[in-house]
């Protein structure tokens, strides 16, 4: 929902800077996803023997079918009957498509976000799956894992600075690539894995947790106003603090049926909402002069969620769920070695 907000906000032109900065902070929804992904995967696998073929099959069939459908959709919407750059208005090449199909586009400055809008996050997630067995092994000794976590944060900072200052190319493109590179975002996933230990829960009351949640949310609102000066690692810490406290406070609104349903179809919704925004953009342009930015932002946001969610419900049912079952059964683990139902 945060990611949808930033993309809708970018299409409403008349917002004050304060509101624009706040909607733009929706980009941190991706890091929130990485945190929750690491948390749920570690909860599902910690203390159990990891069956690598089973894990790889489940992860592949969880993301690949819908991601490939998204790639096909955006190639068609770009007007590409064949992968011929001469007829390609957005510069997609066969090489970029091949890297995307292999989930390696996150390593390429030109391909990392080219074929599928927002597809860089899927490339990052695929790399997190690669390093997950190592993180699972390290988490057996919490102190050892915490030391590793410190190293991961330091490595992410060094990697970001190195990419920004030494990678050749257009500065804006390089900056976007550096912010999206998987190693720079690994602290989010690794911190989510750490949260599976439920650190500090024994001495934390739900009321105190709710106060911490609110403080983290306020800090993120303040951080949003820094815009270009907001630090990715600081944002990850704030998001992780919010997530950690939410796990203890468990507010009713966060456990509502509506949010649970949105969470269920969120992968499809994420991939499809770019296409929906492309289709309703002319309507947004017509509405704003008549209704003003507040009503336009509200209507466009709710419409994007509703339309994308409707299509996402269908793709979840007919594409995601069947392949999730396939991945779960392809290399079935012995009874008791893994949970019967996937949690991530």
At 65-91, the pLDDT tens digits run 999 999 999 988 876 444 444 434 457
Residue 124 pLDDT > 60, yes or no?
Answer: yes
Helix (H, G, I), strand (E, B) or coil at 29: helix
Q: Which two tokens stand for residue 92?
A: 């997609």
Burial of 109 per CB tally in 10 Å (0-12, 13-18, 19+):
middle
Tokens standing for residue 55: 């894990």
Q: pLDDT digit string (tens) for 213-245?
A: 999 999 999 999 998 778 999 999 999 999 999
How does pLDDT run across 279-304, given as a tens digit for each residue? 999 999 999 999 999 999 999 999 99
pLDDT for position 88 = 46
Q: Name the residue ranges covered by the structural domains of the chain.
A: 2-330
Contact indicator for 181, 162 with CB cutoff of 8 Å: no
Kindly indicate the confidence band of residue 337, based on its pLDDT and cuts at 50, 70 and 90.
Answer: very low
Task: Supply the mean pLDDT for the chain.
Answer: 92
pLDDT for 343 equals 42
């Amino acid at each position: 929902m945060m990611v949808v907000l930033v993309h809708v906000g970018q299409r409403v032109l008349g917002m004050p800077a304060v509101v624009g900065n706040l909607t733009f902070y929706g980009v941190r929804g991706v890091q929130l996803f990485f945190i929750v992904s690491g948390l749920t995967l570690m909860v599902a696998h910690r203390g159990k023997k990891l069956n690598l073929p089973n894990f790889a099959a489940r992860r592949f069939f969880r993301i690949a079918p819908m991601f490939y459908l998204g790639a096909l959709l955006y190639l068609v919407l770009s007007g590409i009957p064949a992968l011929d750059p001469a007829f390609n208005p957005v510069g997609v090449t066969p090489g970029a498509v091949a890297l995307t199909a292999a989930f390696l586009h996150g390593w390429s400055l030109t391909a990392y976000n080219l074929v599928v809008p927002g597809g860089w996050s899927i490339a990052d997630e695929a790399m997190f799956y690669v390093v997950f067995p190592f993180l699972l092994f390290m988490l057996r000794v919490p102190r050892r894992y915490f030391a590793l976590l410190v190293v991961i944060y330091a490595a992410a900072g060094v990697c970001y600075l190195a990419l920004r200052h030494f990678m050749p190319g257009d500065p804006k493109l390089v900056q976007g690539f550096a912010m999206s590179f998987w190693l720079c975002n690994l602290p989010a996933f690794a911190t989510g894995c750490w949260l599976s230990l439920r650190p500090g829960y024994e001495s934390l009351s739900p009321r105190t947790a709710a106060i911490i949640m609110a403080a983290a949310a306020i800090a993120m609102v303040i951080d949003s106003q820094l815009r270009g000066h907001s630090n990715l690692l600081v944002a990850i810490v704030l998001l992780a603090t919010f997530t950690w406290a939410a796990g203890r406070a468990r507010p009713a609104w966060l456990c509502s049926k509506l949010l649970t349903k949105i969470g269920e179809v969120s992968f499809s919704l994420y991939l499809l909402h770019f296409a929906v925004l492309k289709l309703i953009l002319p309507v947004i342009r017509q509405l704003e002069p008549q209704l003003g930015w507040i009503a336009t932002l509200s209507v466009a946001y709710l419409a994007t969620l509703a339309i994308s969610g409707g299509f996402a419900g269908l793709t979840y049912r007919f594409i995601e769920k069947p392949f999730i079952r396939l991945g779960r059964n392809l290399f079935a683990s012995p009874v008791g070695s893994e949970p019967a139902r996937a949690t991530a």
